[in-house]
Each structure stands twice: as structure tokens, then as C-alpha cells.
Amino acid sequence: MPRLRPPLNLDDLKVIFDVLNVYDPNDIQHVYPEMGEREFLDDVRIAWHKVLELIKEEIELDTCTKI
């Protein structure tokens, strides 16, 4: 998969993580029913884990460069 352009920084990733973290299908499914379906919720969970891993990697890199 190609890298994102423009690249996301740690603050961007934290914002995305926060949005995924508070996602509640009950808030949106009356407008977009597919956003309350199991498949979409699974995709949100998978994306949450991926963003979490990216944040951990960025924090590790940042910590290593400060040593």
C-alpha cells in the first residue's frame, strides 16, 4: 500500500484514534444505517487497532531519537 500523502503526524493519528475510540453506531445509524451494521463495526475496530499500532510506533521512534 502506498504511503499517505500528505503524511500524517502523531497529532493527526491521535485525532483519528480519538474519533474511532468514541464511535457509537447509535449516534449515526438512523442517518446512515450501514454504519451500524456488524461489518462496518468490525472495520472500525480493525482501523482502531491499526491506528493504535501506528501511534505506538511513532512514540517509540520519538523516544529512541531523544536518547
**What is the per-residue pLDDT for 60?**
83
Flag whether 26 is in a domain. Answer: yes
Spatial distance between the Cα atoms of 32 and 44, rounded to a whole number of angstroms: 15
Flag whether 5 is in a domain. Answer: no
Spatial distance between the Cα atoms of 45 and 41, rounded to a whole number of angstroms: 6
Q: Is the separation of the CB atoms in 23 and 61 below 8 Å? A: no
Q: Which domain holds residue 44?
A: 10-66
Flag whether 46 is in a domain. Answer: yes
**What is the per-residue pLDDT for 39?**
97
Flag whether 21 is in a domain. Answer: yes
Number of domains in the chain: 1
Q: Is the pLDDT assigned to residue 53 strictly greater than 80?
A: yes
pTM of the predicted structure, to 2 decimals: 0.79
Flag whether 1 is in a domain. Answer: no
Flag whether 35 is in a domain. Answer: yes
Q: Is the pLDDT assigned to residue 35 strictly greater than 90?
A: yes
Spatial distance between the Cα atoms of 20 and 2, rounded to a whole number of angstroms: 22
